Structure 1
Amino acid sequence: MDEPLSQTWHSSGHSTNLVGRPSAFMASPAFNDAPVGLHIWGVREMNPALFTMLDQAETLPEAGEAFLAYMVAMFGIDPEQREAAPGSRKRYRSSFLRLIQGWTFDSNGPEGAVLKGWVESRFGILPSFHKEIIPDIHGPIWQAYVEERMQSRFHDNAILVQLDMLFEFCQWAIGRFAFPGQSHITLYRGINAVDRHGILDQPSKREAVIRLNNLVSFSSDREVADCFGDRIITTRVPLAKVLFFPGLLPSHLLRGEREFLVLGGAFRVSIDDV
């Protein structure tokens, strides 16, 4: 899970996004301390049948099945992709399932670039790492990221719209079934040398404000996070920033490592040795 970040990385982000909140605010510790709901413009309004169907579900697995059925019908996704592994020779239409599966194998692969690009375009939060530190948006590292993000094989089936719908379903499921009434969840992330990360403030040896990538993995299981570094960061993640959590869908996606996909930015963390 460890990705070193530049301490000099810019935090301006884009001036516009699709959620109506300032991008710099969403990437700040202030948002994480007092989060507000995030909704991508037009998704629920354009898919009333989906959310009417979801409201009839009595359990999260039932809602997950309904969401998958809707996505298969809407985007012509082959149901086999539920368990298809990245690297398979069979050609599929682009799907959010394929991207999530790819992320689990390598967050710095092309699937990871598309996911980071989605965060960039919808929330205005720029990535700070893809294969290596991205020091600015004018150099060759940024250009390489953009080229991978725009690969045509991932953009033939309204893939960004699929991710919009996944985010809205995830937020619906959080409020309805998974974490009703909660604003935060405590999560863990394994890291190596702390000084390789974008430390914005460090009031003590065990406390810091660290800038993480614009999309980042956490685990709800501390013992799992222990396997990914020699130190553990613990933080309270606002549920408004969660894109995917284990058990959201009736598949094996992200379950093994109890992995949450979270919109990134600056987080207040505690730091402990493994």
Structure 2
Amino acid sequence: MSDAAQLVRRGIGHSTNLVGRPSEWLASCAFNETSVPLHIWGVTEMNPSLFTMLDQAEHLGEAGQAFSTYMMAMFGLDPEQRAAPARGERRFRASFLRLIQGWGFDSNGPEGAVLKGWVESRFGFGPSYHKEIIERVASRAWTTYVEEKMSSRFHTNAIWVQLDLLFEFCQWAIRRFAFPGETHLTLHRGINSFDEHWILERTTRREAVIRLNNLVSFSSDRDAAGCFGDMILTARIPVSKIVFFNDLLSSHALKGEGEYLVIGGDYRVSVNYV
């Protein structure tokens, strides 16, 4: 195996993060098979009024409305920001809503780079793919990713703080309304090849350990996942690694049916053909 391949298999990461867990462990199968909760330092402590409002909600829809109201007040996120501005109009403030929308169209676009950059910053491990395989820091692929993740077009208005709040709200909603008592969800991902995924270990003919990108889409609907490729990866995803899911907010859902945004790493998956 080449040195470059070894680097990809090991992954590009940092020794520090904002969740208080070793980054290498966070990216490992060992973590993904546990039920350890994750919290970004300081988010709940710095936003007590948000979580006070959420605790008063009687259902997920009401909680989503409270979250949206809080984000609009804190970051000036007007409803009109759900659509891109026309030429000649003022530029809207950077919004987590725009990032989620952009991800739905193209996870390898600039919005995807910002989201992957947030995962790198908060959880300590970088993407393994953005437009092409990222083999090492000193590479064209890494440079492209960094340029896009730091673009002023999206990287304003405390965008990573917005994403911190989104993650903490998602985790709160999972515990309170969406999947109370659950530690893992069985989710599916359709692919056409393993070009974007490294097979770390082939355990059986239809089971393997693979390295997923640091942020990746899954679906709770196996048939919907099959629309995106000839092979379906099925994995048990710890709920602590779910960043966003289709029903979290009543407006601005992801384009895919039953879609989830999941923090990646090394996962044990089954591989089946459509």
- TM-score bin (small chain): over 0.9
Q: Unmatched 5+ residue regions in structure 1?
A: 1-5
CA distance in 2, matches of 1:31, 1:242: 14
Residues 110-149 of structure 1 aligned to structure 2 (within 5 Å): 110-149=110-149
Task: Sort the Cα spacing of 1:196 and 1:104 in 2 relative to 1 into closer, same or farther, 3 A.
Answer: closer
Deviations 1:221-259 (Å, cap 9, x if unpaired)? 000110111110100000000000111011141164211
TM-score, normalised to structure 2, is: 0.94
Q: Does structure 1 conserve the Cα–Cα contact (< 8 Å) formed by 2:184 and 2:238?
A: yes
Q: Secondary structure at the match of 2:217?
A: strand
How big is the shift at 1:197?
2.7
Question: What is the match of residue 60 of structure 1?
Answer: 60
Q: Does 1:101 align with 2:101?
A: yes
Q: Does structure 2 conserve the Cα–Cα contact (< 8 Å) formed by 1:110 and 1:149?
A: yes
AA aligned to 1:162 is Q
Residues 11-90 of structure 1 aligned to structure 2 (within 5 Å): 11=11, 13-81=13-81, 83-84=82-83, 86=84, 88-89=86-87, 90=89
CA distance in 1, matches of 2:21, 2:224: 33
CA distance in 1, matches of 2:86, 2:212: 31
Q: Does structure 2 conserve the Cα–Cα contact (< 8 Å) formed by 1:7 and 1:199?
A: no
AA aligned to 1:140 is R
How big is the shift at 1:35?
2.8
Q: Does 1:207 align with 2:203?
A: no
How big is the shift at 1:30?
0.5
Q: Secondary structure at the match of 2:153?
A: helix
Question: What is the match of residue 156 of structure 1?
Answer: 156
How big is the shift at 1:193?
2.6
Task: Sort the Cα spacing of 1:188 and 1:117 in 2 relative to 1 into closer, same or farther, 3 A.
Answer: same
AA aligned to 1:244 is F
How big is the shift at 1:44?
0.2
Q: Does structure 2 conserve the Cα–Cα contact (< 8 Å) formed by 1:7 and 1:200?
A: no
TM-score, normalised to structure 1, is: 0.94
Counting aligned pairs with the same residue, the percent is: 68
Question: What is the match of residue 242 of structure 2?
Answer: 242
The 4+ residue runs of structure 1 with deviation greater than 3 A are: 86-90
Q: Does structure 1 conserve the Cα–Cα contact (< 8 Å) formed by 2:18 and 2:41?
A: yes
CA distance in 1, matches of 2:117, 2:265: 15
AA aligned to 1:128 is S
Task: Sort the Cα spacing of 1:248 and 1:195 in 2 relative to 1 into closer, same or farther, 3 A.
Answer: closer
Q: Does structure 2 conserve the Cα–Cα contact (< 8 Å) formed by 1:190 and 1:230?
A: yes
CA distance in 1, matches of 2:196, 2:13: 22
Q: Does structure 2 conserve the Cα–Cα contact (< 8 Å) formed by 1:170 and 1:242?
A: yes
Q: Secondary structure at the match of 2:266?
A: strand
Residues 170-209 of structure 1 aligned to structure 2 (within 5 Å): 170-194=170-194, 197-209=197-209
Q: Does structure 2 conserve the Cα–Cα contact (< 8 Å) formed by 1:44 and 1:51?
A: yes
How big is the shift at 1:7?
7.2
Count of aligned pairs: 267
CA distance in 1, matches of 2:248, 2:86: 24
Q: Unmatched 5+ residue regions in structure 2?
A: none
Q: Does structure 2 conserve the Cα–Cα contact (< 8 Å) formed by 1:78 and 1:93?
A: no
AA aligned to 1:25 is W
CA distance in 2, matches of 1:137, 1:196: 17
Q: Secondary structure at the match of 1:35?
A: coil
Deviations 1:170-210 (Å, cap 9, x if unpaired)? 00000000000000000000112347630010111100001
Q: Does structure 1 conserve the Cα–Cα contact (< 8 Å) formed by 2:212 and 2:264?
A: yes
Question: What is the match of residue 268 of structure 1?
Answer: 268
Q: Secondary structure at the match of 2:247?
A: coil
Task: Sort the Cα spacing of 1:12 and 1:129 in 2 relative to 1 into closer, same or farther, 3 A.
Answer: closer
AA aligned to 2:251 is S
Q: Secondary structure at the match of 1:154?
A: coil
Question: What is the match of residue 3 of structure 1?
Answer: none
Q: Does structure 2 conserve the Cα–Cα contact (< 8 Å) formed by 1:190 and 1:227?
A: yes
Residues 246-257 of structure 1 aligned to structure 2 (within 5 Å): 246-254=246-254, 256-257=256-257
How big is the shift at 1:155?
2.0
